[in-house]
Amino acid sequence: MLTFNLDSTPVSDGPRAGTVHTLHGTIQTPIFMPVGTLGTVKSLSPEDLEENGARIILGNTYHLYLRPGGDIIDLFSGLHDFMQWPHPILTDSGGFQVFSLAKLSKISETGYNFQSHIDGSRHMLTPEASIEMQIRLNSDIMMCLDQCIAYPSDHDQAKSALELTTRWAARCKTTWMNRTDGQNSLFGIVQGGMYKDLRDLSVQQLIDLDFPGYAVGGLSVGEPKPLMMEMAAHTLPQLPADKPRYVMGVGTPEDLVELVTLGADMFDCVMPTRNARNGQLFTRFGTINISNAEHRTAIEPIEEGCTCYTCRKYSRAYLRHLYTCREILAYRLNSIHNVHYYLSLVNQMRLSIVKGEFASFRRDFYRTRKKQ
């Protein structure tokens, strides 16, 4: 059974540090979860993740359902053994990928009827099927199937989607309770688009269903940043203070700092790994693009003082050379640095919260970035 303890002085709507206990170990929050779409965080080994502070990763149910498929996962009794990751795994429901990737997706009360983006084969993703697949993955934290909507959506669309999301959440919870002993946890997902009254409604309906944790979905879908922050600031304080709060699919380093300020505990985003593969590297002074000519003769590391493997060993000049030659090693070295950056950031936030010094951390974070 998932439990959550606060390690900082409880506050209703400010930054907090906590510890989440799951089937495969504990996670100290705030935490960032690297995205392991297809049973691998792209370019990284499990050791690379561990060494850089990752303690929980995200797996994509839609992708793993299509490839390798549940029958292969069953041979390994779940995703952990298949990919040799011994620590916790959170899986999404597959809803967002059906919405964004699949072809000819049709939604009904039953679920999503969709065509695989790989071979066009037809599949049905119901709340029950999503939970069943997440159980097969032996996910530590499963997510309810939700209806994702585009930005912008009108109030009627957003209301209808959140209400379906609530009915699906109830079905997910029933499947979870009937099919597991509760060791694998299940989070509800708040929807409601960019409408505060709908966010309120969604929060209330999900709290009534009583989940071990809650996520804020439907953010970072194309809306302006101030609107995203407004919705997060409106929603996060309404979520139960004694349960983990997960903001899905977000975001930049600044987003993480702002959302932790608002009381969020968990994050996932492809940004550190995807940007690494595009040559964009995060530093405390801001981002750099390793392909820029200025790095051609730079013998210094990506970031002075960074303790990641890449910065301990390699120069910007070498990394630029690898990247411009499209050498495979470039993707791994860049990803190691970016994942280390994200995990260090959340760890520093946690330490500053525990010490009661988060405000000063936040001030320094922005000051250092402005220096560049």
Q: How far apart are CA 35 and CA 64, in angstroms?
A: 13
For 245-307, the DSSP string reads EEETT---HHHHHHHHHTT--EEE-SHHHHHHHTTEEEETTEEEETTSGGGTT--S-SSTT--
Residue whose C-alpha is closest to residue 86's, from 140, 123, 38, 136: 140
Active-site residue 268, yes or no?
Answer: yes
Least distance from its own copies to the Cβ atom of residue 114, Å: 19
* 40 makes contact with its own copies (CB under 8 A): yes
- Answer for which of 7, 67, 120, 210 binds its own copies (CB under 8 A) is 67
* 354 makes contact with its own copies (CB under 8 A): no
- Answer for which of 155, 179, 296, 355 binds its own copies (CB under 8 A) is 296
* 327 makes contact with its own copies (CB under 8 A): yes
Rg (CA), the chain: 20
Residue whose C-alpha is closest to residue 113's, from 79, 1, 104, 305: 104
Segment contacting its own copies by CB under 8 A, of 71-79, 226-234, 239-247, 362-370: 71-79
Least distance from its own copies to the Cβ atom of residue 63, Å: 9
Segment contacting its own copies by CB under 8 A, of 72-80, 186-194, 220-228, 235-243: 72-80
Give yes or no for a contact between 277 and 27, defined as CB atoms under 8 angstroms apart: no
Which residue in the list 146, 255, 265, 268 is annotated as catalytic? 268
* 50 makes contact with its own copies (CB under 8 A): no
Conformation bin of residue 77: beta by default, left when phi > 0, alpha when psi is -120 to 50 = left
* 86 makes contact with its own copies (CB under 8 A): no
* 245 makes contact with its own copies (CB under 8 A): no
* 363 makes contact with its own copies (CB under 8 A): no
Residue number with CB closer to its own copies (67 or 106) = 67
Q: Residue 4, SS3?
A: strand
Which residue in the list 92, 140, 146, 255 is annotated as catalytic? 92
* 328 makes contact with its own copies (CB under 8 A): yes
Least distance from its own copies to the Cβ atom of residue 133, Å: 16
Segment contacting its own copies by CB under 8 A, of 91-99, 131-139, 180-188, 331-339: 331-339
Q: In the chain, which ranges are continuous DSSP H helix?
A: 46-51, 61-66, 70-75, 79-83, 95-100, 127-136, 155-179, 196-209, 225-235, 253-261, 271-277, 309-313, 316-324, 328-354, 358-371
With contacts defined by CB under 8 A, how many residues of the chain interact with its own copies? Answer: 34
For 165-188, the DSSP string reads HHHHHHHHHHHHHHHS-SSSEEEE
Site residues (vs its own copies, CB under 8 A): 38-40, 42-45, 67-68, 71-72, 75-76, 82-84, 296-297, 299, 313-315, 317-318, 321-322, 324-325, 327-329, 331-333
Q: Which residues are catalytic?
A: 92, 268
